[in-house]
Structure 1
Amino acid sequence: MSELWEAYAIRYAEDLNRRASQTFLGGAGGDALTPFAYQAFLLRGPLGWVAFDTGADEAACARYGKTFVQGLPLALQLLGIDPGTVRHVIQTHLHWDHAGQPDLFPAATFHMQAREMAYVTGPAMQHAVLRAGYQVAEIAAHVALLHAGRMRLHDGEVALAPGLTLHHAGGHTDGLQFARLRTRRGWMVLAGDVVATRAHLERRVPFPALYHVGDALAGFDACLALADAPEMVIPAHDPWVAEAHPAACAGGEGWLVRLD
């Protein structure tokens, strides 16, 4: 069986007016514009189709002041994917913009780090600054998946399938994880929020919403070490992702692109 994976990015929302002071720890860069994209991903390989984060719907984007682009359901439709046949979902962490629509995949097993579940249901959530970005209903939905036997909680690195591994990073949240996959272009890293934009990686300055600064910095090096080249590290929030890669299909220009 081939170990190669296809990888697709869905730019479902954007914040084109975001400032550097909101984007880099310590307010580095001041009022300079740092446009943000909000992205989920779909993979195809030895496990069939796999979702990498479930993004957020239009209503959630409106609540957080983000401009909606196109939804994950339309991406599934354009790629000819029956959501009921998707058997695996990789959840990097449970912030609203990554974990908002678990019900899109009614037959899937979800994969998350055990530390993320412990984090969102533990004493850290007594602090408003740490619980910002989480929605109680979404945490409850993932706890329900655990009790329904549809959530696998991992401890560190795990080989999910040939050519696909998951890796704990922490930093942004205590249980944040990323994925490494073998593609026809070589080893690619879907960094999730370990690397929000390429500028974070280049400048070695983390995103300001943090649980552990040291883990965030170490995460940069972990992603680079596991990718065949820096451009094979795919950030979760960089508009470059949709701008630098070709449309996956007709109608996907600028928001549904193929990465491999």
Structure 2
Amino acid sequence: MRYKQAVPEDLYEVTIVRYGTRETLRSDVFLNYQFYGLSDGPMTVDYFFWVVRGPNRTFIVDTGFNSETGRKRERTMCVDPVTAMRSLGIDPEAENDVIVTHAHYDHIGNLGSLPNSTVFMSRREYDFWTSDVSDKTLLRQFTETAEVDHLVAAARTGRMIFVENGYSPAPGITLLEISGHTPGQLAVLVETSEGPTLLASDAVHFYEEVERDMPFVSLTSLLDTYSGLQTVRDLQASGVRHLVTGHDASTLQRFRPQRGNLGEHAAVIGSKEEW
């Protein structure tokens, strides 16, 4: 896959918002870590959502966990995601466009605060989390029933748009199914003035996953996870300039700080000046 030069109306500014964090061990986040022969040690896991803003349209990519779920799961909230959206000029009550990469608690936790939004989601992802198998102990620990209910409500009220690999919700944005972590995990390929940018979400939690081929501890298919990591490497080799992972604590240091009231909790890729 090679990329043609985007025209200005197809370019977007990406804001990366770090809304939460936690401290853990490396052996807690990499699958079967003991097999790699590496020393264990501390690991910071950060939590993000993303805003993709163009001249004609804005997309919210995931909605983070909410304060109640964060407390229950002993996660530290750095900034409330809904408050952060407001600071970026987004009215939660408006008819927003929300891309849900997958249905884990830290990615759909505030959908209830966006009651009029259109939701873009993989059909495979939705079908999986609304099936009986999603209630298995090793799967349900990553979701909250009430939050999945918000997805069901969006589908029931006609606010859900089911997508497949390669779907484009707007010029300059392509949704890619990179399964493994979950059955219909989406990544978002965005054209920016700094080149094609891949918001990998949890197709890649940490940069080390891609660099060392080390899957995250939570997955629904190991083979699909390995295939997905290779897909990301292939995308990088074919022209994707920026990779934005779902939980790596170095993420904000890799990109330009956002100038605004989110302070140290946000970074930006691309520029509105190119519009």
Q: What TM-score range do you get, normalising by the shorter chain?
A: over 0.9
Q: 1:250 aligns with which of 245, 260, 263?
A: 260
**Structure 1 residues 155-183: Cα deviation after superposition (integer angstroms, max 9, x where no partner):** 22201111100011110111111110100
Q: Secondary structure at the match of 1:144?
A: helix
1:173 aligns with 182
Aligned letter for 2:12? W
The residue that corresponds to 1:121 in the other structure is: 130
Match of 2:161 in 1: 152
Whether the aligned pair in 2 keeps the contact of 1:48 and 1:86 (CA below 8 Å) is: no
**Does 1:188 pair with 2:197?**
yes
Hey, what's the Cα distance between the residues in 2 that align with 1:122 and 1:134? 13
Give the distance between the partners of 1:43 and 1:223, measured in 2 at CA: 20
Q: Counterpart of 2:263 in 1: which secondary structure?
A: coil
**Cα separation, 2, equivalents of 1:231 and 1:208:** 27
Q: Deviations over 1:105-143 (max 9, x none)?
A: 233210010111111122422421122201111111100
**1:136 and 1:172, CA in 2 relative to 1: closer, same or farther beyond 3 A?**
same
TM-score by length of structure 1 reads 0.93
**Corresponding residue for residue 72 of structure 2:** 63
Tell me, in whole angstroms, the C-alpha distance in 1 between the residues paired with 2:42 and 2:240. 23
**Is contact 1:75-1:256 (8 Å) kept?**
no
CA contact (8 A) 1:19 1:30 kept: no
Report the count of equivalent residues. Answer: 259
User: Structure 1 unaligned runs (5+)?
Assistant: none
TM-score normalised over the length of structure 2? 0.88
- Cα deviations by residue, 1:40-68 (Å, 9 ceiling, x for unpaired): 11110155221000101222111111111
1:6 matched to 2:16? The reply is no
C-alpha contact 2:21 2:76 (8 A) present in aligned 1 = yes
Q: Distance in 2 between matches of 1:104 and 1:226?
A: 34
Asked if 1:93 corresponds to 2:102, the answer is yes
| Distance in 2 (alpha carbons) for counterparts of 1:238 and 1:48 | 28
Query: What are the Cα deviations for residues 194-220 of structure 1, in whole angstroms up to 9, with x where unaligned?
Result: 000111111111101110011111111
In structure 2, do the counterparts of structure 1 residues 47 and 215 end up closer, same or farther at CA, with 3 Å as the change threshold?
farther
User: 1:174·1:211 contact (CA, 8 Å) conserved in 2?
Assistant: yes
Superposed displacement of residue 259, structure 1: 2.5
What is the Cα-based RMSD across aligned positions, in Å?
A: 1.8
Partner of 1:219: 228
Contact 2:192 2:269 in 1 (8 A): no
Residue 90 of structure 2: SS of its match in structure 1?
Answer: coil
CA shift for structure 1 position 31: 2.9
How far has the Cα of 1:79 moved from its partner? 2.0
Call closer, same or farther: CA 1:236–1:205 in 2, change over 3 Å: same
State the partner residue of 1:26. Answer: 32
One-letter identity of the residue aligned with 1:76: M
Sort the Cα spacing of 1:181 and 1:55 in 2 relative to 1 into closer, same or farther, 3 A. Answer: same
Alpha carbons 2:82, 2:110 under 8 Å: kept: no
Q: Report the Cα distance in structure 1 between the residues aligned to 2:117 and 2:222, rounded to whole angstroms.
A: 33
The alignment-based identity, stated in percent, is 27
CA spacing shift, 1:49–1:237, aligned 2, 3 Å: same
Give ranges in structure 2 of 5+ residues lacking alignment: 1-7, 271-275
Corresponding residue for residue 52 of structure 1: 61
Partner of 1:237: 247
Q: Tell me the SS of whatever aligns to 1:223.
A: helix
Mapped partners of 1:33, 1:238: distance in 2: 13
